[in-house]
Amino acid sequence: MNFIDSTKAGLQNYANFKGRATRSEYWWFMLFYTLVLVVGSMVHEYGVFVPLLALALPVLAVTVRRLHDLDKSGWFYLLNLVPLGSFYVLFLCTQKGTEGANRF
């Protein structure tokens, strides 16, 4: 999956918390998200808040679908609330997805 396809898939499935997202879909969408935040912060000092709020749900959805690809529950995303828990979620999202069917 390339950058354009991943961005389209992430934005079209912005409220879809079921199914799976591949590594490439997740990382390309996160690159898009980071670029949008950087451009927003360069435009205005508070310009980062609009894209941050607008893309919060798509980022959450693609991360949950990525965790589903690893055969983990989307509730693992709550580890971001724990100090250093975000590193664990990042580690999980770098792993190769399960082959074939899984419970998601």
pLDDT value for 64: 92
pLDDT in tens, 24-61: 999 999 999 999 999 999 998 888 899 899 999 999 99
Specify the length of the chain in residues: 104
Q: CA-to-CA distance for 72 and 79, rounded, in angstroms?
A: 12
Q: Which amino acid is at 84?
A: L
Answer for the pair 51, 37: CB distance below 8 angstroms, yes or no: yes
**Total-model pTM:** 0.85
pLDDT in tens, 13-25: 999 999 999 899 9
User: Whole-number mean pLDDT of the chain?
Assistant: 88
pLDDT > 70: percent of the chain? 100
Q: CA-to-CA distance for 74 and 11, rounded, in angstroms?
A: 18
